[in-house]
Amino acid sequence: MPAIAPETIVSLDVYQVAIPLVEPYHLSKVYGTQTHSDAVIVRMTTASGVEGWGEGDPGGINFTGDTAEMIMAKITTDMLGEFIGTRVDDWVESDQGLQRSGAWGAALDVAAYDALGRIHHKPVWTLLGEQQREQIASLWPTSSGTADEDLRVIKTKLREGFHTFMLKMGNRLIEEDVARLLKVMAALPDTTRIMVDANQGWQVEETLEFFSHIRGLPLVLIEQPIAADDHAGLAHVHEVCPVLLSADESLQTRGDALALAKRGAVDVFSIKVSKNGGLRAALEIARTAKAHGISVLMNSMLELGITQSASLHLGCVLDCLVDCGHAFMSTLRMSDDISDFSDLVSDGVACLPMGPGLGIQVDENKIKTYLKGERHV
């Protein structure tokens, strides 16, 4: 009987964990209030004993259409026959990550890249492209609330080194959000960068009304003001948007990227490794962006450190990032994490790890602490 190649995947351990946020996260009326990260963690083990870690971060039925329970089932039933016995180098080199989608595909794809990097003693970014930078400034989001609440958070984070802030909107009247934005911007230094994310909370008419009140304001961008499936509406508001317009929920697959680019619907693609199906698929979306003159915002779900590290590796090889802070603060908003990714973020900047694979350590005891379910194959 022929020997099993050392790169062959021989087992998967899949864990569902829930970690509370430090503070509740109030979003648009589409999503309501979030209180914890509900993630699926994958440990892939090869025949040589090398482990690769992946993470799937579901956006819920109203965002990505999946839940942690659905991801668990998909990985341990539908994908079992395709994954066990596969070589991680074959997975990466044959672009298997392009054949999967969503958070379940991302969990497997990131685990494969992590394992391959560890096998070859190379950081994951070396498997993705040429390094463009060693660090990326991070943004900090604020809940959809009042101007006073925004300023409390922003002034604290300014002292900690953050300079870009994303104000969540979409659950109040337009005039209330405009008044909130004006009060916030008037109270901050000119060097502070502000972006707005309505998370599908507005109609086209409301979006146009918002635009009419913000002309001349130095906003970085406005993200996903209207429903994800309304590409025509997005293209329409883009024609009169006074600042950069970004697609998030509208951008889930490579097909979405191409459709948005061909319509000229947005200026920025909001890439999230878990939402977009993993590192390989997200890389292809970024390539589509560059080919069509579109910039990239490295954004995040309610992520733990595995996905945050994967996103950082990808962001550091892209040469089309929008000029602002990017979303590498997710673990800092959690009451805890199952990795040491937070150690890479200091003074509002995330520094690229140079160790093998993702360059972070996963704490299995933390997984046990926050465990909601597990499966082993």
Predicted confidence at residue 109, as pLDDT, reads: 94
CB neighbour class for 187 (10 Å; exposed up to 12, middle 13-18, buried from 19): middle
Predicted confidence at residue 1, as pLDDT, reads: 43
For residue 319, the SS3 value is coil
Predicted confidence at residue 81, as pLDDT, reads: 65
For the chain, 377 residues long, the average pLDDT of each consecutive 10-residue run is: 73 95 87 90 96 92 82 79 84 77 91 96 97 98 92 97 97 95 96 96 97 96 97 97 97 96 98 96 97 98 96 98 98 98 98 97 98 92
4 beta partners: none
Residue 121 DSSP label: T
Predicted confidence at residue 25, as pLDDT, reads: 86
CB neighbour class for 3 (10 Å; exposed up to 12, middle 13-18, buried from 19): exposed
Beta strands across the sheet bearing 295-298: 139-142, 164-168, 193-197, 221-223, 244-247, 268-271, 295-298
Question: Hey, what domains does the chain have and what are their CATH numbers?
Answer: 9-121+364-376 (3.30.390.10), 127-351 (3.20.20.120)
* Three-state helix/strand/coil letters over 326-343: ECCCHHHHECCCCECHHH
